[in-house]
């Protein structure tokens, strides 16, 4: 029998061991984790809506009307009018014809990709796509070809030499680097080579684009240019679940074919209504996004002045490159010793030799809280490996 304990010990020696934290209370910048009060900079609650009193009130009021559980799959008796209302709201918000509400972003990518491509087809996937996209490609049993990160020229060459049904899938915002896919160029080559473009905008929805409508609309692209849009509600929206949006014929096809939609119990209807309320907030609150952008600029300026190596991101995802697994863990622990929670991200989540601290900012953070992070980073700079440190920039 396989020695699982030995593998765990090896992970510890390699600096790859993962452990869970026990969080008490609501998700917000000031967290209680494992009994300690910490200032968190590692949440995906980009707009600070996970604990918004209006969303909580909507959920509480909806429970009395809808009950708690979904009780059955959407195709049995679980498709509540609250789910339908959310799907219509999501379609309107993303300016698409139709939408489907799914349980998680992982299930959305697994179900959509494996439904839209199969044996004999070819999927083209960015090398830095999220694990859920990778697993959806594997599940499809289609031929999978990976192109270099954001390398549209390489993708176009691959498309030109490939016949049959072709699917191109990419993150809108890459979750570990924070950069944005070259969506206009991807849409152009997909149109030229008759490929279906799928964009997972899990980290762009709510943050980018007009009224937070996402990276696809920030790029000025229509449903015709990007036929399939996937998004999650557990990040900037602050609730739970996921969706896919696009032409009605494709959504109908997914109802027939997407196994992760067909064979699972529907989400609690009250959560769907709370998500509608949260989307209303996102659409109306440009000030929240403006504050977030100001925090991003302030962080980048301060961290670079301290000599930290940042990645070229202008989204709330601001990775600090470290390189070595153990050094990344040491930096994370040193920050925690000063009351700051920033997790170390290590392989296989990121490539070998690219361990990092993934700083994420939220509109719920104040400038004073951000300054606390920068002060803590100043105290911990000596822990950086030589190759990860840069000369501090004079102010």
58 carries a ligand binding annotation: no
User: What is the three-class DSSP state of 228?
Assistant: strand
Beta strands 242-246; 98-102: pairing state: antiparallel
Strand (E) or helix (H) holding 321: strand 317-323
Determine whether 175 is an active site residue. yes
366 carries a ligand binding annotation: no
232 carries a ligand binding annotation: yes
Q: Which DSSP state fits 266?
A: P
Q: What is the distance between the alpha carbons of residues 205 and 105, in angstroms, rounded to a whole number?
A: 13
Strand (E) or helix (H) holding 196: strand 195-200
Determine whether 203 is an active site residue. yes
Q: What is the distance between the alpha carbons of residues 181 and 170, in angstroms, rounded to a whole number?
A: 7
365 carries a ligand binding annotation: no
Q: Please answer whether residues 50 and 240 qualify as being in contact, where contact means their C-beta atoms are separated by less than 8 angstroms.
A: no
18 carries a ligand binding annotation: yes
Q: Of 167, 74, 192, which is closest to residue 116 (Cα–Cα)?
A: 167
How far is C-alpha 73 from the geometric centre of its chain's CA atoms?
A: 25
Determine whether 12 is an active site residue. no
- Please identify which of the residues 40, 43, 140, 175 carries the catalytic annotation: 175
How far is C-alpha 50 from the geometric centre of its chain's CA atoms?
A: 15
Strand (E) or helix (H) holding 161: none
206 carries a ligand binding annotation: no
Residue 60: HSE in the Cβ half-sphere, 13 Å Cα cutoff: 7
- Please identify which of the residues 235, 275, 291, 362 carries the catalytic annotation: 235
136 carries a ligand binding annotation: no
- Please identify which of the residues 80, 83, 166, 203 carries the catalytic annotation: 203
Q: Of 155, 222, 231, 230, which is closest to residue 195 (Cα–Cα)?
A: 155
106 carries a ligand binding annotation: yes
Binding-site residues for pyridoxal 5'-phosphate sit at: 105-106, 175, 203, 232
Active site residues: 175, 203, 235
Binding-site residues for substrate sit at: 18, 130, 349
Binding-site residues sit at: 18, 105-106, 130, 175, 203, 232, 349
């Amino acid at each position: 029998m396989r020695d699982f304990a030995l593998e765990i010990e090896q992970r510890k020696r390699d600096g790859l061991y993962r452990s869970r934290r026990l969080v008490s209370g609501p998700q917000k910048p000031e967290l209680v984790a494992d009994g300690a009060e910490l200032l968190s900079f590692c949440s995906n609650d980009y707009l600070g809506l996970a604990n918004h009193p209006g969303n909580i009130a909507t959920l509480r009021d909806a429970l009395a009307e809808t009950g708690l559980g979904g009780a059955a799959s959407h195709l049995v008796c679980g498709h509540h009018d609250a789910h339908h209302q959310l799907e219509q709201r999501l379609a309107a918000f993303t300016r698409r014809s139709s939408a489907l509400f799914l349980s998680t972003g992982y299930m959305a990518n697994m179900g959509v990709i494996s439904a839209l491509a199969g044996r004999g087809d070819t999927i083209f996937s960015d090398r830095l796509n999220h694990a859920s996209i990778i697993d959806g490609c594997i599940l499809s049993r289609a031929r999978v070809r990976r192109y270099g990160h954001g390398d549209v020229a390489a993708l176009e060459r691959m498309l030109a030499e490939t016949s049959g049904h072709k699917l191109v899938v990419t993150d809108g915002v890459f979750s570990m680097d924070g950069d944005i896919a070259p969506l206009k160029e991807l849409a152009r080559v997909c149109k030229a080579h008759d490929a279906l473009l799928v964009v997972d905008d899990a980290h762009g929805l709510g943050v980018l684009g007009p009224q937070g409508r996402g990276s696809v609309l920030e790029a000025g692209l229509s449903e015709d240019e990007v036929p399939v849009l996937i998004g999650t509600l557990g990040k900037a929206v602050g609730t739970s679940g996921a969706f896919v949006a696009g032409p009605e014929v494709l959504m109908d096809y997914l109802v027939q074919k997407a196994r992760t939609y067909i064979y699972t119990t529907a989400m609690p209807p009250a959560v769907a209504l709370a998500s509608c309320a949260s989307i209303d907030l996102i659409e109306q609150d440009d000030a929240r996004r403006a504050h977030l952008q100001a925090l991003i600029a302030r962080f980048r300026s301060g961290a670079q002045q301290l000599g930290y190596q940042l990645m070229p991101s202008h989204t709330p995802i601001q990775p600090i490159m470290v390189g070595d697994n153990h050094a990344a863990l040491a930096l994370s622990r040193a920050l925690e010793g000063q009351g700051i929670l920033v997790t170390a991200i290590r392989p296989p989540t990121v490539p070998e030799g690219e361990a990092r601290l993934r700083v994420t900012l939220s509109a719920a953070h104040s400038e004073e809280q951000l300054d606390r992070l920068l002060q803590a980073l100043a105290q911990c700079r000596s822990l950086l490996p030589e190759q990860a440190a840069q000369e501090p920039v004079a102010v």
